Structure 1
């Protein structure tokens, strides 16, 4: 496994050492590409480490889209992109997607810190005719220490502190046989475990960021200014 430290590129006119090393080991560096020929039907030029050159992987991926469990899902996603492009919010897109997929039962796994937002979300989905099953992260009321979290790593050491329980959230929604699940503000890593254990497909409606009002991209907008030394 190659660990590469990027840091800030003071010389924007040349490749950073990190990018050079990534290219050397054959890693795809689309974020550093200045060509983006993949947007064209017949690109005249592609970087040596362009993912588009991996024909076997590309062919495999295209075949996977034709599988019954993937085909309609992907096509519907693309239709939603066309129908609401630049007009619909993410929540509206999610609602319309669920309707076009004929989903009836929607699961919502939400963070305790966003319980009011979850309440509003549930109300909206019910108004659109969906049956909603909502599960909060603290469900089960299990102390963090029971899973191996050290006392000093609790927010309040020495006190009972209910753990976030994403596997339990997923298992409960699996039991309820939800058609589609929404993640609402789950912690970094906890969200990953929820995705892993959910039988139904998952989309994220809200991404948690306790500092930026759940708008993590805000840090990127300020990455070269106010947040330069904080990232």
Structure 2
């Protein structure tokens, strides 16, 4: 079993492969050679090469939004899709505006597209966010399919819920990047839970 999260040395980062522990993925040389072959495929090479350039050029200097635009430009992606949560409608509007001002064609699809009632998934009244009201399911498959129909070059996730983002990525034909993730409690900064895991969230997150 691989345990990279528990490693304190990260010899892989420094190329000191002779020091790696026995369960280090770097020791799987046959597998690594297979991965390297995949990186040489045309689309994979373009994404990997340009993402490496964006990382180096924007390191600690550019915001993620700037880096997304740089990445799209380097890959010659002209038509961008935004898959967003209805709860981040204003953010989606601002994101689309900025992307358009920077020369991109933008197609945006809201999570509630199709207005499919939650009863379709056998969600009971007491299982709704607001029982007694009509609630449409989040429809990430629809978001992906509509953007597929538009033949977007790159799709951007903005605040999709846990699981809904998984379905969107599964069905998106275009490459997907994440601008922001959903965390209503922590102002969409889920890393806050880790930073507070030994203090305010200790009892919630640690089971020992």
TM-score, normalization: structure 2? Answer: 0.96
For 1:116-195, list aligned pairs within 5 A: 116-195=90-169
For 1:1-231, list aligned pairs within 5 A: 27-231=1-205
**Cα shift at 1:40:** 2.2
Per the alignment, in what secondary structure is the counterpart of residue 126 of structure 2?
A: helix
Larger radius of gyration: 1
Structure 1: unaligned runs, 5 residues or longer:
1-26
Aligned residues of 1:109 and 1:184 also touching (Cα < 8 A): yes
C-alpha separation in 1, matches of 2:146 and 2:86: 17
Structure 2: unaligned runs, 5 residues or longer:
none
Aligned residues of 2:17 and 2:26 also touching (Cα < 8 A): no
Which aligned runs of 4 or more in structure 1 are off by greater than 6 angstroms? Answer: none
Cα deviations by residue, 1:16-72 (Å, 9 ceiling, x for unpaired): xxxxxxxxxxx1001111331112223341111111111121111111000011001
TM-score, normalization: structure 1? Answer: 0.86
Q: Number of residue pairs matched? A: 205
**Cα shift at 1:160:** 1.2
RMSD: 1.0
The answer to which structure, 1 or 2, has the higher relative contact order (CA under 8 A, 6+ apart) is: 2
Higher helix share: 2
C-alpha separation in 1, matches of 2:99 and 2:174: 17
